[in-house]
Amino acid sequence: MPTNFLSEDQRRRFGRLTVSVIRDAVVETDARRVERSVTNLVTNALRHGAEPVVMEVDGPTVHVRDNGPGFPPDLLAHGPQRFRTSGKGGLGLGLTIVMGQAEVLRAQLTWTNPTEGGAQATLHLPTT
């Protein structure tokens, strides 16, 4: 998986992102859809969470975690919904796009607020 999906301008604007590869895996999938999904997850974490933002690749699973206030309860209960916001601006399209891409990829997508704080999105790609 490429780790250079953010442009130099995006890195300057958004701040710090740490990428960690715990274990790699070969997954037959649509690389463009995976890249778009991961880019949207990272962009969302950098815009709406707090630094540092960490992307961790563990085989076919990608975790994107931030140190912000966490996902709103409505998102945790129902998932992202197009044009619905938590009052912090934006149209809510980025995470909705990730959901659509995950569906096409037959990937699992989960949203959690870890006990230590922040928000974590997990994209698990199918291996078969």
Establish if 21 belongs to a structural domain: yes
Domain that residue 29 falls in: 8-124
Hey, which residues does 53 pair with through a beta bridge? 17
Establish if 1 belongs to a structural domain: no
Its pTM stands at: 0.82
Minimal CA–CA distance to 46: which of 66, 19, 62? 66
Section 71-84 average pLDDT: 82
pLDDT band at 94 (very low <50, low <70, confident <90, very high): confident
Number of domains in the chain: 1
How many whole angstroms separate alpha carbon 91 and alpha carbon 1? 28
Instruction: Give pLDDT, residue 2.
Output: 45
Helix (H) or strand (E) holding 52: none
- Answer whether residue 33 shows pLDDT above 80: yes
Within 10 Å of residue 118's Cβ, how many Cβ atoms? 21
Establish if 3 belongs to a structural domain: no
Establish if 68 belongs to a structural domain: yes
97 SS3 class: helix
Q: Percent of the chain at pLDDT above 70?
A: 80
Q: For position 99, which CATH number holds?
A: 3.30.565.10
